[in-house]
Amino acid sequence: MIETREHLKIELKKCEDWEKDQSDLWLWEKLGRLPFKLIDKYTPEFIQKKVGVMIDELGTYIQSGGRYLSSVSSLKSYYSDQNIYTLKDVESLPIARIDEAAARLSSNRKRAAAFQGASTGIGGIFTLTIDIPLLLGIQLKTLQDIAICYGFDPADKNERMFIVKILQFVSSDIVGKKAILHQLSMFDSNADAPKREVVSELQGWKEVVFSYRDQIGWKKLFQIIPIAGLLFGAFINRSAVNDIAEAGMMLYRKRAILNRLEQENPE
């Protein structure tokens, strides 16, 4: 299939329409930022320290990727029926074909997240606090692998910054979402200012994580109940990965389309 410029513009419009639809923040999402303040107050100190260590590990992802870094070598598994071995090879694939690979990957990660949520939901509040950084780890891997599907390399620090901004986007309110979308829209520009702004915000990585944690507070509150938390944990984690995968696919999809339009007409 040969993609025409008109077809790419239609697909770009779909991404832009999705961005416009992200401006809603339901009342219970706002109220949902409260429960974790109570959870923190009554959670044993040793569990809080464990969470702090894991969050610090996630922070190292920004600088080096650490153990959370995905490898481009996984490309072949995403396109098993194609001769795709490098990120450059991805450029030969139609956007629709890339979408299919990213959707399959997202589906697999949602199942993994559901299993993890069920496992940690059994123990109620004690395993709940540990579940949060584990869930963030799955989401980081999901976003990186989606990036690879669309031809972007998470080994590049700029891409890791982009991924962190997607995490922040999902957990932000209306004002925050608009600001982040504006930053990301200029991410591939030659201007230094947008990237400097993103870099400066990365100094607050822990704040990004805590904001995200508070954002899913009301959902995780149902997971406090031992045993019953198994069902809630599976559903909540699957939903959380679905949200981050959807955002990752749309935002990376948009960049891939814009890059192709730029290559066709550099002016």
In whole angstroms, how far apart are CA 104 and each of 15, 134, 146, 223?
19, 21, 10, 28
Domain boundaries, the chain: 45-262
| Residue 113 · residue 134 · CB < 8 Å | no
In whole angstroms, how far apart are CA 135 and each of 26, 64, 120, 123?
22, 20, 10, 16
Residue with tokens 């925050």: 176
| Residue 141 · residue 182 · CB < 8 Å | no
Mean pLDDT, residues 45-68 taken together: 64
Nearest of 122, 82, 142 to residue 232 by alpha carbon: 122
- pLDDT tens digits for 215-242? 665 556 666 676 777 777 788 888 889 9
* pTM for the structure as a whole: 0.82
- pLDDT tens digits for 163-208? 988 988 887 777 778 888 888 888 877 666 555 565 555 555 566 6
The predicted pLDDT at position 13 comes to 93
